Chain A
Amino acid sequence: ETGVTQTPRHLVMGMTNKKSLKCEQHLGHNAMYWYKQSAKKPLELMFVYNFKEQTENNSVPSRFSPECPNSSHLFLHLHTLQPEDSALYLCASSQEQVNSPLHFGNGTRLTVT
């Protein structure tokens, strides 16, 4: 399997639930990212990990908790979300080189009820 794989593809959760999004990349990249895509808004960078170390937290609320156990896997743990958190969550990876292109997964469509 190649590329960036995200699971699940769709997730519906209540505001009191706890769930996790998973991302796996098979490209040998050293950097991984979480982006949020909402309708009619630009993609928003949430978190960046380089060599498993978090290097960027773009003022994301603490109800989103990332985890990067190794350079191939990235998780986003979710708890006590709000309906406005409903969006497409995209994982991406890249080489840790200037202007290295991002390779995105197909995303997890999250609906918070």
Chain B
Amino acid sequence: QQQVKQSPQSLIVQKGGIPIINCAYENTAFDYFPWYQQFPGKGPALLIAIRPDVSEKKEGRFTISFNKSAKQFSLHIMDSQPGDSATYFCAASSAGGTSYGKLTFGQGTILTVHP
């Protein structure tokens, strides 16, 4: 019930394409859904996050779509660029308890954007 399932494992698109990465969860107590971006040799960095009271959040070229009834959320990257090539992780957590950073991560998606 604590798992977050992420797909696909890898994704290759051409520059300008719109890669979509999907995540699904079971734990209905989750109420915070961040996406992290990780470049080779670097630690993950927060990209964008959403709460379940909204169905969509957009920051620049990155959009999260959230479907509470289906317990699914996805990341869309508009007008993708080669510099977006990285590993993307979805995650989820609940606000309860004292462990604020206790994120449950998906397995990650390796995105490659060809020029």
Contact = CB atoms under 8 A, between A and B. Distances in A.
B89 to A, nearest CB: 7
Interface in A81-113: 90, 92, 94-107
A99 B93 CA distance: 8
State which size class the interface on B falls in: 20 to 34
A104 B93 contact: no
- A interface residue count range (under 10 / 10 to 19 / 20 to 34 / 35 or more): 20 to 34
Contacts of B101: 31, 33, 45, 48, 92, 94, 100, 102
A33 B89 CA distance: 17
Contact of B103 (A45, A50, A98): A45
B102 A98 contact: no
A41 B46 contact: no
Top 3 nearest A-B pairs by Cβ distance? A104-B43, A101-B46, A42-B105
